[in-house]
Structures are given as structure tokens and as C-alpha cells.
């Protein structure tokens, strides 16, 4: 077992899971490409890859750099002078809710923007609630992130001595 782990770099379970994921991906690809017009699937996949690599990646890289600069520029300096106090990367308290909110928007944008005109016909449910719900979920995500930041900040403060203790 040690010899396999040293040679492969991970446990046999990892290899089994990787092979199973490749098999599942291959099965999904075969099913997708065996439809009526497989070229549409290929076109969609190539278009999504190009959109991500040429538009979205530079966009969120620049946005992340700007947010890091803004947050790092406002961080308090340590009492000794030079370097900022580090309680962990503060940008992650912004990144996580933005990522989750963006993922929800990406998944449900036709319904959020009221472009899913067949939703009500198929489900008999109202389609005018998605924008409000997405905004509410996003607000809750940001509030939870802010709460986590406050808790982490309060826990990382050094304890002050009691008023009468010497």
C-alpha cells in the first residue's frame, strides 16, 4: 500500500473516485452527443469555454484585484508601524457571498430576469418571485459573511485585564 501511495501520490480510493468520475463524464458526454443535433452541444460547450476564458475570467480577475486593493487599503495598521494586522484574508468574506450569489444568478438568470416564459406554463407556479428571492438570499449570504467576520474579529482580540485586577 505504501509503495502504491508513494508511486501514485494518493490513496487507491482517490484513484477509484477519479476513474469513476471519468466514467460518469464519458457516459454523460455519450448521452449528450447521441441526440438529434450533437453539433449544438459542441457549439454550446465551445462557446461557454470561450465566454469564460475571454470575457468572464478577465472581468472577475480585475474585479477581485480592485476589491483586494480597496479592502487592503482600509485595513488597520499594527501598533508597531509597518505591516497590517493579519486575522486572515479579509477578501474571502466578500468573495464567498459574491461567488454563491453569482452562481445562483447564473443558474436561475432566465427566471430572475423574467425570461423563462414557459416556467408558469409548465409548473403553474408564479414566475415573478425569483428576483426578490435571489436578492433576499444574496442579502442573507452577505449578512452571514459579515457576522462571521465580526465573530472572527472579536475572537482574535487579545483579552483585556479586569478593571480591579493587578
Quick one: pLDDT at residue 80? Answer: 53
Quick one: pLDDT at residue 87? Answer: 41
Residue 70, C-alpha cell as written in the block: 480597496
Residue whose grid cell is 486572515: 88
Cα–Cα distance between 69 and 91 in angstroms, integer?
Answer: 10
Quick one: pLDDT at residue 157? Answer: 78
Element (H, E) at 8: helix 2-8
Q: What is the pLDDT of residues 104-151, one digit of tens each?
A: 998 988 889 888 677 777 888 887 889 999 999 999 999 999 999 999
Q: Residue 164 — pLDDT band, cuts 50, 70, 90?
A: low
77 - beta bridge partners?
84
DSSP class of residue 35 equals S
Which distant-in-sequence residues (6+ apart) come within 8 Å of 11 by Cβ?
A: 5
Q: Residue 163 — pLDDT band, cuts 50, 70, 90?
A: low
Q: What is the pLDDT of residues 35-87, one digit of tens each?
A: 888 899 899 999 999 999 999 999 989 988 888 888 777 555 555 555 544 44
Quick one: pLDDT at residue 103? Answer: 93
Quick one: pLDDT at residue 64? Answer: 86
Cα–Cα distance between 90 and 69 in angstroms, integer?
Answer: 11
Amino acid at each position: 500500500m505504501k509503495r502504491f501511495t508513494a508511486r501514485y501520490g494518493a490513496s487507491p480510493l482517490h484513484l477509484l473516485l477519479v476513474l469513476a468520475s471519468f466514467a460518469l463524464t464519458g457516459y454523460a458526454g455519450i448521452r449528450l452527443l447521441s441526440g438529434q443535433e450533437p453539433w449544438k452541444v459542441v457549439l454550446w460547450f465551445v462557446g461557454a469555454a470561450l465566454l469564460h476564458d475571454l470575457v468572464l475570467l478577465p472581468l472577475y480577475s480585475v474585479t477581485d484585484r480592485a476589491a483586494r486593493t480597496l479592502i487592503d487599503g482600509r485595513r488597520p495598521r499594527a501598533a508597531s508601524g509597518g505591516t497590517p494586522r493579519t486575522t486572515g484574508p479579509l477578501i474571502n468574506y466578500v468573495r464567498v457571498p459574491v461567488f454563491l450569489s453569482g452562481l445562483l444568478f447564473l443558474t436561475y438568470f432566465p427566471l430572475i430576469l423574467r425570461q423563462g416564459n414557459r416556467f408558469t406554463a409548465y409548473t403553474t407556479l408564479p414566475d415573478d418571485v425569483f428576483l426578490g428571492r435571489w436578492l433576499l438570499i444574496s442579502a442573507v449570504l452577505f449578512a452571514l459573511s459579515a457576522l462571521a467576520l465580526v465573530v472572527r474579529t472579536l475572537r482574535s482580540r487579545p483579552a483585556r485585564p479586569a478593571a480591579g485586577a493587578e
